[in-house]
Structure 1
Amino acid sequence: MTEILKGPILKSIDKTENIVVFLHGYGANGNDLIEIGKHWQQNLPSTLFLSPNAPFNCEWGENAYQWFDLTSIAPEKIGEGLQKAGPYLNQYLDHISDFYKIVNEKILVVGFSQGTMMALHHLCKRKKECAGLIGYSGLLFENEGFDSEVTSKFPIRLYHGKQDEVINYEFTEKASKKLKSLGFSVDYDLNESLGHGIDENGLDFGLSFIKKTFYV
């Protein structure tokens, strides 16, 4: 049993009927992405927004967290880090489903950078299917035997800046191709001038997907 992740909560305007979970990037914390919830909230009145801090402290500062260490980008080290962090994410998603009495099919995950890596790698291996995934500026890490570990499928939307200096946008193109080959419904958008971040177009891209998923 791992410790349950904690972080900012933005309550729904109306009765909670669905949940959006934000997974932040390396060196950030839950406060970083909860701001997106504030941007979306008026258009998603029955949505509860949760933004947990990643489980491990980061060397960048007291309030900096990481899902896994990035001092080495060797594939085996990233794979080890993803596996170590996986139980924290899975336990958190199970916990909020039980605590808020919201089924997994009404929980949508939004990731940025390292958070996107976590979501893409782990959500498809859960027995309980989520509502969908929005991944900003990330990549799909495939461990040995990845294909055979996929147990649930859900719609995925990816967004990436073509000027990203941290994670090349081609990783989003590769992720889309791979996930489609496994039977996922995937759409992605690339922004010609955006670096490693989320802009207004990206926010609109994500909001449109959530509205179609939960409100239509």
Structure 2
Amino acid sequence: MDVLDGPRFGPLNGAAPDALVVLVHGFGADGQDLIDLAPVWAEVLPGAAFVAPDGPEPCAGGPFGRQWFSLWDRSAAQLEAGVARAAAVLGPFVAAEVARLGLAPGRVALMGFSQGAMTVLEAGLCGAVPEAGCILAYSGGMIGADSLAGRIAAKPAVLLVHGEADEVVPVAASRMAEVALADAGVPVRALYRPGLGHGLDEVGLAAGAEVLRGLLGQK
């Protein structure tokens, strides 16, 4: 696996960064897929730096794009091992960014879409990214949700957003994650969007902006 890197944005105000938002793409995409969210969310976090790392592996079976872990074998054991490895790669990258920017603990938000959502939930809750102050998980879910209570290492605020018409990752994945997170004592809010497929919409992005402003908007 390669050392992670990807496109960056901000801070919008031109000052030294006071927060970091890490945008983690889905299967078959790359950092460019999500970095366009940075100017939108920078309106509520003008002091934040944004980074969208490319996944550590070429996309299996595809001519382009990256992946955080393989989906070739979708058995529970293989998926759990894959997301754990992905979280272990994301962790040092986030720690290096936090050190480089000189940020205080808790001044980090993790956002992920689809496979990226699964990766940031694992990383932020199970110890790979202890710096996370909040997690925004879109159109994903949590691999190994049934064992979370025995693995959890941190309890950052979590926002789950999922389209009820998602044809790629069923909305049931986020509903299961919501229950597991609540049972583990994690402050979780879930937003299910009627008619939305596997994607983002303005309502979900506004909800993410609200969480970011509430948790990272002030030093």
Q: TM-score, normalised by structure 1?
A: 0.93
CA apart distance, 1:143:
7.3
CA apart distance, 1:113:
0.3
Q: Could you tell which deviates more after superposition, 111-120 or 145-154?
A: 145-154
Unaligned runs of 5+ in 1: none
- Alignment check: 8 A CA contact 1:129 1:153 kept: no
Letter in 2 for 1:137: S
* 1:172-204 CA-partner distances (Å, limit 9, x unpaired): 111111111111000011111100000111111
Q: State the partner residue of 2:5.
A: 6
Q: State the partner residue of 1:44.
A: 45
Secondary structure of 1:42's counterpart equals coil
Secondary structure of 2:198's counterpart equals coil
Letter in 2 for 1:18: A
C-alpha separation between the residues in 1 aligned to 2:173 and 2:146? Answer: 18
CA apart distance, 1:214:
1.6
Q: Which of residues 203, 206, 212 in structure 2 aligns to 1:204?
A: 206
Q: Which of residues 142, 152, 155 in structure 2 aligns to 1:153?
A: 155
Q: State the partner residue of 2:191.
A: 189
Q: State the partner residue of 1:112.
A: 113
C-alpha separation between the residues in 2 aligned to 1:11 and 1:68? Answer: 28
Q: Could you tell which deviates more after superposition, 23-32 or 146-155?
A: 146-155
Going from structure 1 to structure 2, the CA distance change for 1:47 and 1:175 (only over 3 Å counts) comes to: same
Structure 1 segments of 4 or more deviating over 6 A?
Answer: none
Going from structure 1 to structure 2, the CA distance change for 1:129 and 1:95 (only over 3 Å counts) comes to: closer
CA RMSD of aligned residues (A): 1.7
**How many aligned residue pairs are there?**
214
Going from structure 1 to structure 2, the CA distance change for 1:213 and 1:24 (only over 3 Å counts) comes to: same
* 1:30-80 CA-partner distances (Å, limit 9, x unpaired): 000001112222232111111000100113234x00001112222122122
CA apart distance, 1:116:
0.6
Q: State the partner residue of 2:75.
A: 74
- Identity within the alignment, %: 27
C-alpha separation between the residues in 1 aligned to 2:174 and 2:182? Answer: 12
Unaligned runs of 5+ in 2: none
Q: Could you tell which deviates more after superposition, 121-130 or 27-36?
A: 121-130
- Alignment check: 8 A CA contact 1:79 1:143 kept: no
C-alpha separation between the residues in 2 aligned to 1:94 and 1:137? Answer: 25
1:94-113 equivalences under 5 Å are: 94-113=95-114
CA apart distance, 1:146:
3.8
Letter in 2 for 1:105: G
Q: TM-score, normalised by structure 2?
A: 0.92
CA apart distance, 1:144:
8.1
Letter in 2 for 1:193: G
- Alignment check: 8 A CA contact 1:4 1:91 kept: no
- Alignment check: 8 A CA contact 1:158 1:187 kept: yes
Letter in 2 for 1:155: A
